[in-house]
Amino acid sequence: MKKVKVGVAGYGVIGQRLADGVFRQQDMELVGVADVAPTLAVRALKEKGMPYDLYLASADRRQAFDDLKIPVSGTLEDMIDKCDVILDSSPGGIGAKNKELYIKHNKKAIFQGGEKNSVADVFFHGYANYEKGLGKDYLKLTSCNTTGLIRSVDCLDRAYGIERVAITIIRRVADPGDYHRGLTNALQIDKAPSHQAVDLMTIMPHVEATGILVHTPITHGHIITVVATGKQKITKEMALAAFEKHPRIRLVSIDEGFMGNASLFRYARDLGNPRGDMYEIALWRDSIVETGDSIMYAINIPQEAVTIPETMDGIRAVMNMQATSEEATAKTNEYLGIGKWKSV
Amino acid sequence: MKKVKVGVAGYGVIGQRLADGVFRQQDMELVGVADVAPTLAVRALKEKGMPYDLYLASADRRQAFDDLKIPVSGTLEDMIDKCDVILDSSPGGIGAKNKELYIKHNKKAIFQGGEKNSVADVFFHGYANYEKGLGKDYLKLTSCNTTGLIRSVDCLDRAYGIERVAITIIRRVADPGDYHRGLTNALQIDKAPSHQAVDLMTIMPHVEATGILVHTPITHGHIITVVATGKQKITKEMALAAFEKHPRIRLVSIDEGFMGNASLFRYARDLGNPRGDMYEIALWRDSIVETGDSIMYAINIPQEAVTIPETMDGIRAVMNMQATSEEATAKTNEYLGIGKWKSV
Amino acid sequence: MKKVKVGVAGYGVIGQRLADGVFRQQDMELVGVADVAPTLAVRALKEKGMPYDLYLASADRRQAFDDLKIPVSGTLEDMIDKCDVILDSSPGGIGAKNKELYIKHNKKAIFQGGEKNSVADVFFHGYANYEKGLGKDYLKLTSCNTTGLIRSVDCLDRAYGIERVAITIIRRVADPGDYHRGLTNALQIDKAPSHQAVDLMTIMPHVEATGILVHTPITHGHIITVVATGKQKITKEMALAAFEKHPRIRLVSIDEGFMGNASLFRYARDLGNPRGDMYEIALWRDSIVETGDSIMYAINIPQEAVTIPETMDGIRAVMNMQATSEEATAKTNEYLGIGKWKSV
Amino acid sequence: MKKVKVGVAGYGVIGQRLADGVFRQQDMELVGVADVAPTLAVRALKEKGMPYDLYLASADRRQAFDDLKIPVSGTLEDMIDKCDVILDSSPGGIGAKNKELYIKHNKKAIFQGGEKNSVADVFFHGYANYEKGLGKDYLKLTSCNTTGLIRSVDCLDRAYGIERVAITIIRRVADPGDYHRGLTNALQIDKAPSHQAVDLMTIMPHVEATGILVHTPITHGHIITVVATGKQKITKEMALAAFEKHPRIRLVSIDEGFMGNASLFRYARDLGNPRGDMYEIALWRDSIVETGDSIMYAINIPQEAVTIPETMDGIRAVMNMQATSEEATAKTNEYLGIGKWKSV
C-alpha cells in the first residue's frame, strides 16, 4: 500500500512531536518539517544528523540556516507539494495564513488547537467524532486539555451516557524550556466558563459542560477534576470498569508512587520514551468519588504529547485510511505503542 | 463590662494573627502570648517594643530568651492562670498536650485546625454552628480552607438550602517565609475525598460533600471551586444576591484587576492591613456559572488570616458573650473592620 | 520651616511606597499622587478613605474614575503646579515624556531606575554621591539592586578603600502580585556584564565592577553575592565592623532563623511595617568569607522598598535641604525609622 | 578482552543513569541493579520488559515485588558476587552500610557524593585526579555541582594555572518528580563556605576555593558563577580557547537560544537523549568577563546525569583499565557519545 505523505509546518514543541509521531506510523511517510528560523529545535535536529528533511517556512531567511551549515531541502511550498496532508503546528494565527498555500496546492491540512475553529471544516477528536472527519480537507484538533478531557468523558458516555460535566482545570502555565511566558508564585483565574468546556460541547453537543480554569506556575502537566453526571447513576466501580478498557487512559494511584503530574513526567522519562513524553492521560483511581448520582475524578494531561495520537487519527480520517474510530485509533495506538502496558 | 481575658499559646503564623485579632476586640483583653523559642516572630515582637507580654511555653528554655534580652513575663501556666480562655495555635499535636494544663487550671480553650477533633467538645464555625459552642469548654476551629468554604456554602444554604457540594481545592503548599515545607514545579494530589469536604459535613450534617485536593507550589492563598446543588435551582443572580450580603465574603472580578490569589495578597498589603492580611475570602463574580440545577463558583482563601474572625466568634461563644451567631459575628466584624468596605 | 512639597507621578509598586515615604518625612508635604487608571492600587487608596489626593495622569480617562466614585483632585499638571519636586515612578519611558511637563512648569524631578540615564543631570545614590545632586533639577535614582549593592560597597570603600567588585545577582523575577511578567521553573541568564555592575561604576568611578545576573522564579527579594577587592586586605572582622555601623544594612544570620529572602519578607510583615516592607538590605554574617585578599558576602535586596530612602535623600539634595550625605541620610533615616533596631 | 562486570546498588535518579551509562560502555557488562522496593523506577523497568536484571536490596521485602509480578534475580549479595565493582547510589548513609557487604565479598565499590569522604580511599574526579584512583578499592565521586565545577576549573588550571576560585552556586533544590523535598517562592542561603568549594580543594589541593550557595525553587540544573584567578592574567579569549577543547564542556550562547538551565533541559530532550539527559556541563560564552586579572564565567550543571561519565572513569581507574585520565576519559566519552557534537 502506498504510504500517506505527511509534512509538518512549525517545528516547535508540538511540531517536533507530530514529526516523531508520523515517523512511527508504518502506513505514513514523513516528508519533512518546516520552520522559519534556526531555533534550538532545529539545531537539535542538525546535531542528531538530520533524520528528517528541513524546509524553509520563510524563503528570505535562508542565510541564517546557511551560516550554521544546517541543510535545507527547499521552501515550505516545496514541502507542501510533496505531501498528501500537512500538519500545521505553527504559532496561533500563522496556520490560517498558511492555509492559503494549502488551498493553492490543493492539499489537506490539520491544524492544532491554537487556530480559530473557522480555519477548519471540522473540529476533531479521534474518539468522539472521528467519522465527521472522514475525507474532509481541513480539520482542527482539540487543544491539549480538551483532547484529554474528552477521552475520559467520551469513555463514560459510550459506556453509560453522560448528560453534564463541570470541570476545574488546574493548568500548567508553560512548557519546560519556555521563556516567553510564565507565572511566578501566583494562581491566575480565567473568566468562566473555560473554553475547554465550550469546546467539549462543540465536539459532544449532547453534553452540557461548564467549568473554571486556574493557571498554576508549573510545567509538567495539567490536572483536571471532572464532575460527570450520567443518564444513570455511575458508581466508582462502573467508572473504573470503563476507564480500564481505554487504551489512551492510564489508571494510576498515589500508593504506587504517582503523587502528581511530576511523577508522571519522571515516569515517562524513566520509561525511555522519546523526549520523555507520554501519550496517555493518567487518571487517579484514588481520586474517584461519588457525589449524588454524579461521579468525580481527576486526570493528568501531558500537554506536550497528548494531542499527537488524535492528530494521527485525524490523518487517517481525512485520507479515509480507516472507516471507523475503532479501526483508526487501533492503528495509531499500535504504531505509537499505546496501551501495550495494559497487558504487561 | 469586664473584658474577657485571652492568651495565645503558640506564636507562629496563626498565633501572631490571633493575638492581633484579640487586641482589636474592645471587649477582650490580650493577656499575652507564649512560645517555646526565640523564633523570628518573637524577635519581631521584641523589635517592636513588646506590645504584648511574652510567656515561656517551656520553662527550661529561658536562657535562650535571656541571652537575647527578650523580656519574659512568666511561664505558660502563669499565662493560663490569668486568662479566661486560651487560644491554642501550637503545632499539631501539642495542643492536645497543652489541654492537660487547661484542665488543670480549669480554663476554656479553643484549638486550631491542626488538632484532632477529639481534643474538643465541638468542631466550630462562627456562622454555621455558633450556637453549639455556647458555654462549651473546648472548641476546635475548622481549618483555613474549611472555614472559608463553609462561609460560602452556609451563605447559600441559609438563602436557598444546599443539598450537596463537590469541591476542588487548589491548595497553596506553604506560607510566605516557610522553609520547612515546600513543593517545586509539581502538582500533588491527595486521596479523595479531601478532609475539608468531610469536615464540612461534620459542621453542616445536612449537606453531602466530597472533593479533590491538589497542592500547588505557591504561597498566597488557596483557590477552591465549588459545585453546589441546592434544594431549588440557584441561578447566578440568586447566588450573587446572597454572597453580596455576607460581610466576610468580598466579591471581586477579573476586570477590576483581581487576576488571582496574588492580586488579593497585593491588595491587602496596599490597603495597609497589618501584616498585609485579609480576613475576607474573595469570590470571583466572573467565575460563577450554572450547571444543570447547580451553581459553580471559585473562592480565594487567605490562609494566614481567614480563621481569625471565626476564632474571635469562638471566644464569644464559649464565654456566652453573645447568644446568637448574628450578634457575635457582628461584634467580631465591627472590631476587625470587616465588611466596612462594602459600604465604601 | 516651610515644608518641601512633593508629588508622585505613577502610583504603582514603587509610587505607592514613595508616597508613604514622603508622608513620613516631617519636613516634606505630600501634595498627592497621579495615575492613569483606577488600578488596584488606586482602588485600595479609595477603600482606605483617600489619605492622599489623587490626580489624573491622563485627563481624558476621567470617566473611569467617576464611574467608581473615586475622587479626583485635578490633572497631573495641576499636581505639578503645587509641587516643588516630583517623584516620577511611571513605567519606563513615560518619565522621559513627563519631563516635558516638569520643564514647562519649571519643577524639579527625580526619576526611578527604569528611565534612561540621559533623562537626568545626575545618576544618584544617597550615600555614594549625594553631593553631586545638590541643587540639581533632575536626578535619576539607581535601580533596586544597584541601590542596595552600592550601600554595601560604598560602606567598605569608605572604611578601607575598594578597587574592584565581581557580583552575582540572583534576581527575583517579579513582585508579589505581578501577572504581567513571570518565569516558571527556570533560571534565566543575562549577557554579562550585568547593568548593575556598569551602573555601580557610573556612581563610583574609581571602582572596577563586573558581574553576572541570573533571574529566578521567586518574588521576595534579590540576593547578590559580592567579591570585593580592597586596597588592603579586608578580613571578615573588618568587613563586619564596617557593615555594623551602616543604618541601612541589617546584619542577620541563618542561626537566628533568617534562612533566605522569604524569611526577611516574613519578618518585615511581622514587624508590622506598612505593606510588609523593609527599607534595609540584609547582609548575612555567616556568608562572609575571605578569598585571597578579597572579601565575599551575600546581601538581600527588598526590591519593592529599597530605593525609597535614597529617593528621600534625593529630594534633600535637589532642594538643598542638607549639605552633606551624612546629614541628609540621618534625617531620612530618622523619619523612616531606619536603624532604630540597631539599638534595640 | 573480558568485560568488567558492574552492578548498581540503589536504582533511583542517579542509579538508573549509572546503569544506562554502564550499559553503553562496550568494555563493561551490566550485571544488574538492586533496590529495596518497587518504586516508580522499578515499575518503569518492568514496563520496559526488564532490560536489566533486578536484585533485592532487602531480602525480606520480596513479597512486594512478587505481588506486582516484577521478576527478581536474587539478593543484593547475589549481585555483588557476580560483579567486579559495584556502583553504590543508595541514599546517603546506606552506602557506608553496604560497604560491609563489599568488604565481605572482597569487591571494589564506587560511592556517590552523598556518602562521607571516609567511606572511600580516594575522593575522585575523572579529569582532576584520575591517577589517584588507579587500582584502589573504594572511591567516592564528587557531587554533581563539584563534578561540573572541577571540569571547568581543572580545564583552566591545566592550560594556565589556577590559584584561587570564588564561586556562587545557584542550586536547583529538587529533581523533576521529587516530592520528598522542595522549596516554594524562596531563596535559601547556606552557611559559607559551601561544601563544593571545600571539596574542590580536596581534589585540587593547590587551589584556594571558597563560595556561597543559594538554593532556588527550580528543578532543571544548577548554575554556578566562578571567579577564577590564574597564575597569569587569563583573558576571555584564553578562557574560551581552553573551554572549547574540553569534550565535557558545551559552549553555548544566549543568542543561540540558550536562555538558561531550562533551555538546556529542553535541548537534551529534543536531542532524543535517553531520559532527556545531558552529560556535558554548559558554559555561556556571553557570560565570560574579565575582572582584574581574574576571569568570571557561568556554567550549567545538569544534576541528574553529570556525574555519570566521571563514575565510568572511576570504574576504569579502580580496574586499571586505562593508565591515564586522557585514555580513560576518551573511552568513556566515546561510548557515551560525549563531544561528538563539537565536530558536527
Q: Who's near B343: CB < 8 A, 6+ residues apart?
A: none
Q: Which DSSP category does A5 fall into?
A: E
C274 lies in the same domain as C335: no
Quick count: other Cβ atoms within 10 Å of Cβ B71? 11
C276 lies in the same domain as C326: no
A137: its cell numbers: 480537507
Give the number of beta-carbon pairs within 8 Å between C and D: 154
Residue type for position B215: H
Question: How many angstroms away from the CA of B166 is the closest CA of chain A?
Answer: 7
Say if D168 is an interface residue toward chain C (CB within 8 Å).
yes
Task: Using CB atoms, list chains with 3+ pairs below 8 Å to chain B.
Answer: A, C, D
pLDDT of residue C165: 98
Question: How many angstroms away from the CA of B337 is the closest CA of chain D?
Answer: 30
The angle that helices C40-47 and B261-270 make with each other, rounded to 10 degrees, is 40
Query: Pick the catalytic residue: C22, C144, C155, C312?
Result: C144
A101 lies in the same domain as A194: no
Query: Pick the catalytic residue: B14, B28, B80, B144?
Result: B144
Task: Using CB atoms, list chains with 3+ pairs below 8 Å to chain C.
Answer: A, B, D
Q: Which of B208, B216, B223 sits opposite A189 (nearest CB)?
A: B223
C224 lies in the same domain as C320: no
Asked whether the beta carbons of C168 and C214 are under 8 A apart, the reply is: yes
pLDDT in tens, B22-46: 999 999 999 999 999 999 999 999 9
Q: Which DSSP category does A124 fall into?
A: E
Asked whether the beta carbons of B300 and B12 are under 8 A apart, the reply is: no
Say if A296 is an interface residue toward chain C (CB within 8 Å).
no
Contact between B184 and D188 using a beta-carbon 8 Å cutoff: no
Any bridge partners for residue A228, and if so which?
A165, A295
Q: Which of D46, D176, D185 sits opposite A220 (nearest CB)?
A: D176
Q: Which DSSP category does B121 fall into?
A: S
Q: Which of residues 16-45 of C touch B (CB under 8 A)?
A: 16, 39-41, 43-45
Q: Which of C174, C176, C186 sits opposite A179 (nearest CB)?
A: C186
Counting the structural domains of chain C, the total is: 2
C167 lies in the same domain as C275: yes
A106 lies in the same domain as A138: yes
Q: Which DSSP category does D132 fall into?
A: G
Say if A237 is an interface residue toward chain B (CB within 8 Å).
no
D99 lies in the same domain as D16: yes
Contact between C176 and B16 using a beta-carbon 8 Å cutoff: no
Task: Compute the distance between CA of residue B279 and CA of residue B310 in angstroms, rounded to an integer.
Answer: 10
Task: Compute the distance between CA of residue C275 and CA of residue C278 in angstroms, rounded to an integer.
Answer: 9
Name the average pLDDT for chain D. 96
Say if A170 is an interface residue toward chain B (CB within 8 Å).
yes
Residue D261 above 80 pLDDT? yes
pLDDT class of B229 with cuts at 50, 70, 90: very high
Say if B190 is an interface residue toward chain A (CB within 8 Å).
yes
Contacting residues of A for B211, CB less than 8 Å apart: 289, 296
Question: Which one has a higher pLDDT value, D232 or B59?
Answer: D232
Query: Pick the catalytic residue: A19, A45, A144, A156?
Result: A144
Residue A206: exposure state from Cβ atoms within 10 A (0-12, 13-18, ≥19): exposed
B291: its cell numbers: 450547571
Contacting residues of B for C256, CB less than 8 Å apart: 40, 43
Continuous segment of H or E residues that includes residue A88: strand A85-88
Say if B188 is an interface residue toward chain D (CB within 8 Å).
yes
Residue B11 above 90 pLDDT? yes
pLDDT of residue D343: 62
Question: How many angstroms away from the CA of B21 is the closest CA of chain A?
Answer: 27
Q: Which of B185, B188, B218, B261 to mutate to test the interface with D (most CBs of D within 10 A)?
A: B185
Structural domain span for residue B257: 144-301
Nearest by Cα to C267 from A222, A130, B306, B275:
B275
Q: Which DSSP category does C307 fall into?
A: H
D104 lies in the same domain as D156: no
CA C200 to the chain's CA centroid: 14
Question: How many angstroms away from the CA of D216 is the closest CA of chain A?
Answer: 13
Q: Report helix, strand or coil for C43.
A: helix
Residue type for position B190: D
D228 lies in the same domain as D109: no
- pTM here is 0.97
Question: How many angstroms away from the CA of C344 is the closest CA of chain B?
Answer: 6
Residue of C nearest to B70 (CA): C344
Q: Is the peptide bond before D193 cis (omega within 30 degrees of 0)?
A: yes
- Please report, rounded to a whole number, the percentage of residues in chain C having pLDDT higher than 90: 95
A12 lies in the same domain as A130: yes
Asked whether the beta carbons of B283 and B264 are under 8 A apart, the reply is: no
pLDDT of residue B343: 61
Say if C257 is an interface residue toward chain B (CB within 8 Å).
yes
Residue of C nearest to B275 (CA): C269
Residue of A nearest to D265 (CA): A177
Task: Compute the distance between CA of residue A321 and CA of residue A130 in angstroms, rounded to an integer.
Answer: 12
Contact between B177 and D186 using a beta-carbon 8 Å cutoff: yes
Contact between A186 and C182 using a beta-carbon 8 Å cutoff: yes
D234 lies in the same domain as D282: yes
C54 lies in the same domain as C133: yes
Asked whether the beta carbons of A139 and A315 are under 8 A apart, the reply is: no
- Please report, rounded to a whole number, the percentage of residues in chain B having pLDDT higher than 90: 95
How big, in percent rounded to 5, are the helix, strand and coil portions of chain C?
40, 25, 35
Nearest by Cα to B149 from B222, B94, B230, B88:
B222
Question: What is the rounded average pLDDT of the residues D325-341?
Answer: 94
Which residue is listed with cell 556562587?
D168
Q: Which residues of B298-315 are buried (b: 16+ CB within 10 A; e: fewer)?
A: bbbbbbbbbbbbbbbbbb
Q: Where would I find the H helices in chain A?
A: 13-24, 40-47, 62-67, 76-82, 94-104, 144-160, 195-203, 236-245, 261-270, 307-318, 325-336
ipTM of the complex: 0.96
Query: Pick the catalytic residue: D144, D173, D301, D328?
Result: D144
Contact between D341 and A47 using a beta-carbon 8 Å cutoff: yes
Task: Compute the distance between CA of residue A301 and CA of residue A220 in angstroms, rounded to an integer.
Answer: 9
CA C21 to the chain's CA centroid: 11
B144 catalytic per annotation: yes
Q: DSSP per residue over D176-191, as a string?
A: TT--S----S--EEPP
List the CATH number of the domain containing A238. 3.30.360.10
pLDDT in tens, D119-156: 999 999 999 999 999 999 999 999 999 999 999 999 99
Residue of A nearest to C185 (CA): A218
Which residue is listed with cell 565493582?
D85
Continuous segment of H or E residues that includes residue D270: helix D261-270
Q: Which of residues 195-234 of B touch A (CB under 8 A)?
A: 208, 210-212, 214-221, 223, 225, 227, 229
Say if C13 is an interface residue toward chain D (CB within 8 Å).
no
pLDDT of residue D344: 56
Which residue is listed with cell 483555613?
B144
List the CATH number of the domain containing B40. 3.40.50.720
- Chunked mean pLDDT (size 10), chain A, 344 residues: 94 98 98 97 96 93 95 97 98 92 98 90 97 98 97 98 98 98 98 97 98 98 98 98 97 97 98 94 98 97 98 98 98 94 67
Residue type for position C60: D
Say if A176 is an interface residue toward chain C (CB within 8 Å).
yes
- Please report, rounded to a whole number, the percentage of residues in chain D having pLDDT higher than 70: 99
Say if A194 is an interface residue toward chain B (CB within 8 Å).
no
Quick count: other Cβ atoms within 10 Å of Cβ A335? 18
Which residue is listed with cell 541570573?
C214
